Structure 1
Amino acid sequence: MKYVLLFISLLVANPCVANDSIGYLGAGGVEFKKTADISMDKEVLTISRNLIRVEYEFLNTSSVPTKETIIFPMPFYGFDEGCSPQHSGQLEGFKLWVDGIPQGTSRTVRAMLNDKDVTNRLRELGFADQDIAEYRGVEGNCYSGETISSKGAFSENMQVLSKEGLANFDKEGSFVLATPMWKVAYFYSWDQVFPPKTKVRIAHEYVPFQGSINVGYDFAKPAKLKSTYSDLVKEFCITEGTLRAGAEIQGRITTGSSKMPLGGLSGRTVKYILTTGANWAGPIKDFTLNLKKESKDEIVSLCLDGKLKKQDDLTITSHEKNFTPRKDITAIFFYAPLSHPISSDASGYKPGYRKIKNLPTESMGGSK
């Protein structure tokens, strides 16, 4: 029987990523299916803010070769309102190797609205796949004072998009902001043969979306931070040690400057769904999680059942044998703020308005 093997992995601003699993593409979308023949003998998952790499070893335990279609769906993400298509995200540098040999893939797009697939409906309305996935609804700079207008399929279908709940249109001064309400994901696929009683090594890596950034986490005021972001503290198991480390980093960065840029550290989150890894034949025999910081002035915090060990100044590791995933990983990276695309000198700029426009979105830190 032919199965479809499902891989899911991506780091974005608020990504939801998942482990490999058996599945198939039904009429309603991707569905998961267990396999009794192919085991995941090893997984090494390395997560950082700017690169994801996953390495697997699979074993076909049966006595016959099995040919499968491997489906690699990226996580679904939503959009913020926006005015600048130059800030649209696009997955970069997706690379795949099978037994060390580069492998090509096919790619498609899928859009969902309230658990309903609306991809074909958007195409009927004239949306190209790139428009669906990257949001190119309006042009211009919200804060330049110029007149902004919707374009393309957005401008041609405002009434029907609004009526069907596919987009919101908000008038701000002389322009209208179009906000897509659907969520979207890229799907990669390729055919794979699993020889009998033979290990197959699959690796993939990519530069994640440069999505919206949480800003304004002021570690210099830990009590206020805990109160303001109590849900964040709980979700990512932020401890007193995390707060002290953040305060130390923030204090060191602001030494000699008037104040912390954007009011505090920036933050990016990643959610990695491990539980689909339970769909293989037996547990993951050897599992390693590497959380990679890009500098010493970076903090990572997460809730994890397993033990975490400091490998070096930039790497935190967890290692498990015969691992059956029962809980997903959620992690947040705090780091020094980057340059912000909104200038305080721009016309219409509002102090404290910290939302980066037109990007795969998540809730923002700081004020707005």
Structure 2
Amino acid sequence: MTSSETRKRPMLPRTIRALLLVAATIAPPQARANDSTAELATGGLIFTRSPDIEMRSEDLFISMTEIRVQYRFFNHSSRDVDTQVAFPMPDISFGMDSDIAIPTNDPENILGFSTTVDGSPVAALVERKALLNGIDKTETLKTLNVPLAPRTGQKQDHLSQETWDRLIREGLIEDTPRADGYMTPKWVLKTTYHWQQRFPAGQEVSVSHRYLPSVGGTVPMSASTFLDNPSILQIERSKGLNRFCVDQDFLNSMVRSPNLNWQQNYMEYILVTGANWSGPIREFRLVVDKGAPENLLSFCGHGVRKISPTQFEVRASNFVPSANISLLILKPERADPAAARDADGSQNVADQPCDQLWQQRNSIFKAGGYCFRTPRAIAAFGNAGCKYDNILDVPLSARDRQVVNDIQRIERIKACPR
């Protein structure tokens, strides 16, 4: 669907959002691909169950740059209620196949989470645990002076050979030489912010929090690539799956711009866990901002209406969510291989995934007028205006030829499919 015609589906009923789960555990397998970065599903606050506290309103704002939520709670009992409040961060897996979008460089607050109560900042405590196959290894790592959240690309030269061998022996890291200095952890990091909150009898309390979303995505692709491979958009019509409620109008909007590539961005917001208050949410409001008027937005919702060139709103009374929110935002990018190549010229091709290397290499030949032969390349680039059937006849500058040679060398090292 287009951003102005967001698909309707009964919007999300049964509980407040809460536990933050890695996207792969809640999305279809197609959520991960070689050319993609996966998102971390995020949600809201978890309250200890209390029949005395009702949620009078929830105002949720979601964009690719910020998530904001404001709640109004009311204690309708004759006594004060003290309860534990928690905000679990998404689980982080450090395995060799891990490629997830983390918006900050702070290992203790990967989403830049902050919260206020009645306008005053909350001094939250943080609990961090390292779990290996469900077993808590936190104290072991601390004793060995191993960081629970090692930075990617940072050498761990301070670890002795004895410590390194023990980590391998206990299955905590991949079996790699210590001389390389780079450690690949195999544990999962769990981080939770928590604090004790008082809800005075007969009074309303306002709780709000904000953080940066984890946005998954892919390299820009042509409309024909998406149409030929609907699983990229997580559409499996034969199985009745359509995570983002993508409809024909949405696909038509892509086709109407044949000279554009589209960058896929997706987010997951968890609504369905933690119904720990008294009754439904009296007034629920969701605003989604797609970022720019030319972007395409699709998500499942009922009664969606456009309130600005980039924002869409859903309102509900006595709301009990029963499904999570999955957002798909496509950002257009003009298919100008030369410009894209210049922009990427300073990047180290060794850091790029195979599909991105393939895209960059073939963009150079497309700009040179090569007539592609493989179905994959024809679908991605087309052969309109091509001149050369023999790839050796394509006139490349010395700089372009060097870039191609570098890419092909890295592709051989990575054993990338051709």
Q: Would you call these one fold, judging by a TM-score over 0.5? A: yes
1:15 aligns with 2:46: no
Where does residue 287 of structure 1 map in the other structure?
284
What does the per-residue CA deviation read over 1:105-151, in whole Å, with 9 as the maximum and x for residues that have no partner? Answer: 23332333333333333223322xxx423x32643xxxxxxxxx654
Where does residue 91 of structure 2 map in the other structure?
76
- Change in Cα spacing, 1:249 to 1:39, as seen in structure 2 (3 Å) is farther
What does the per-residue CA deviation read over 1:136-169, in whole Å, with 9 as the maximum and x for residues that have no partner? Answer: 2643xxxxxxxxx654459764433334333324
Where does residue 276 of structure 1 map in the other structure?
273
Where does residue 191 of structure 1 map in the other structure?
196
Q: Secondary structure at the match of 2:273?
A: helix
- Change in Cα spacing, 1:347 to 1:21, as seen in structure 2 (3 Å) is closer
Where does residue 301 of structure 1 map in the other structure?
298
- Change in Cα spacing, 1:240 to 1:187, as seen in structure 2 (3 Å) is same
- Indicate conservation of the 8 Å contact 2:20/2:91, yes or no: no
Residue 214 of structure 1 aligns to which amino acid in structure 2? T
How far 1:342 moved relative to its partner? 7.5
- Indicate conservation of the 8 Å contact 1:107/1:188, yes or no: yes
Where does residue 230 of structure 2 map in the other structure?
226
Q: 1:109 aligns with which of 111, 115, 128?
A: 128
What does the per-residue CA deviation read over 1:284-341, in whole Å, with 9 as the maximum and x for residues that have no partner? Answer: 111112111211232332334x332222221122211111122222223332579999
- Indicate conservation of the 8 Å contact 2:104/2:111, yes or no: no
Q: Identify, as 1 or 2, the structure richer in strand.
A: 1
- Change in Cα spacing, 1:251 to 1:343, as seen in structure 2 (3 Å) is same
- Report the Cα distance in structure 2 between the residues aligned to 1:101 and 1:212, rounded to whole angstroms: 32
- Report the Cα distance in structure 2 between the residues aligned to 1:52 and 1:339, rounded to whole angstroms: 33
Residue 160 of structure 1 aligns to which amino acid in structure 2? R
Where does residue 319 of structure 1 map in the other structure?
315
How far 1:62 moved relative to its partner? 1.1
Where does residue 60 of structure 1 map in the other structure?
75
| Superposed CA RMSD | 4.0
Residue 168 of structure 2 aligns to which amino acid in structure 1? S
Q: Identify, as 1 or 2, the structure richer in helix.
A: 2
- Report the Cα distance in structure 2 between the residues aligned to 1:77 and 1:208, rounded to whole angstroms: 14
- Indicate conservation of the 8 Å contact 1:7/1:70, yes or no: no
- Report the Cα distance in structure 2 between the residues aligned to 1:280 and 1:339, rounded to whole angstroms: 54
Q: Secondary structure at the match of 1:44?
A: strand
- Report the Cα distance in structure 2 between the residues aligned to 1:203 and 1:68, rounded to whole angstroms: 16
Where does residue 3 of structure 2 map in the other structure?
none
- Report the Cα distance in structure 1 between the residues aligned to 2:43 and 2:201, rounded to whole angstroms: 26
Q: 1:35 aligns with which of 38, 44, 50?
A: 50
- Report the Cα distance in structure 1 between the residues aligned to 2:249 and 2:160, rounded to whole angstroms: 48
Alignment of 1:89-238 (within 5 A): 89-90=105-106, 91=110, 93-127=112-146, 131-133=147-149, 135-136=150-151, 138-139=153-154, 151-153=157-159, 157-169=163-175, 178-208=183-213, 213-226=217-230, 230=234, 234-238=242-246
- Change in Cα spacing, 1:190 to 1:342, as seen in structure 2 (3 Å) is farther
Instruction: Give aligned-pair identity as a percent.
Output: 26
Residue 262 of structure 2 aligns to which amino acid in structure 1? L
- Report the Cα distance in structure 1 between the residues aligned to 2:171 and 2:275, rounded to whole angstroms: 36
- Change in Cα spacing, 1:347 to 1:285, as seen in structure 2 (3 Å) is closer
- Report the Cα distance in structure 2 between the residues aligned to 1:54 and 1:331, rounded to whole angstroms: 17
Q: Secondary structure at the match of 1:279?
A: coil
- Indicate conservation of the 8 Å contact 1:37/1:61, yes or no: yes
- Indicate conservation of the 8 Å contact 2:44/2:87, yes or no: no
Q: Secondary structure at the match of 2:275?
A: helix
- Indicate conservation of the 8 Å contact 1:300/1:334, yes or no: yes
- Indicate conservation of the 8 Å contact 2:216/2:266, yes or no: no
Q: Secondary structure at the match of 1:17?
A: coil
- Change in Cα spacing, 1:38 to 1:160, as seen in structure 2 (3 Å) is same
Question: Under a length normalisation based on structure 1, what TM-score does the superposition of the two structures give?
Answer: 0.70
- Change in Cα spacing, 1:284 to 1:246, as seen in structure 2 (3 Å) is same
- Change in Cα spacing, 1:298 to 1:286, as seen in structure 2 (3 Å) is same
How far 1:42 moved relative to its partner? 0.8
- Report the Cα distance in structure 1 between the residues aligned to 2:219 and 2:199, rounded to whole angstroms: 46
Q: Secondary structure at the match of 1:110?
A: strand
- Indicate conservation of the 8 Å contact 2:17/2:273, yes or no: no
- Report the Cα distance in structure 2 between the residues aligned to 1:101 and 1:87, rounded to whole angstroms: 25
- Change in Cα spacing, 1:293 to 1:322, as seen in structure 2 (3 Å) is same
Judge which range, 214-223 or 285-294, deviates more: 214-223
- Change in Cα spacing, 1:284 to 1:228, as seen in structure 2 (3 Å) is closer
Residue 167 of structure 2 aligns to which amino acid in structure 1? L
How far 1:220 moved relative to its partner? 4.0
Where does residue 249 of structure 2 map in the other structure?
241
- Report the Cα distance in structure 2 between the residues aligned to 1:87 and 1:56, rounded to whole angstroms: 24
Residue 115 of structure 1 aligns to which amino acid in structure 2? G
Question: Under a length normalisation based on structure 2, what TM-score does the superposition of the two structures give?
Answer: 0.62
How far 1:194 moved relative to its partner? 0.6
Residue 184 of structure 1 aligns to which amino acid in structure 2? L
- Indicate conservation of the 8 Å contact 1:137/1:150, yes or no: no
- Change in Cα spacing, 1:273 to 1:325, as seen in structure 2 (3 Å) is same
User: Structure 2: which 5+ residue stretches go unaligned?
Assistant: 1-15, 24-37, 334-339, 358-379, 381-415
1:330 aligns with 2:326: yes
- Report the Cα distance in structure 1 between the residues aligned to 2:224 and 2:271, rounded to whole angstroms: 34
- Report the Cα distance in structure 2 between the residues aligned to 1:11 and 1:281, rounded to whole angstroms: 29
How far 1:219 moved relative to its partner? 2.2
- Indicate conservation of the 8 Å contact 1:11/1:208, yes or no: no
Residue 259 of structure 2 aligns to which amino acid in structure 1? G
User: Structure 1: which 5+ residue stretches go unaligned?
Assistant: 24-33, 140-148, 253-263, 356-365
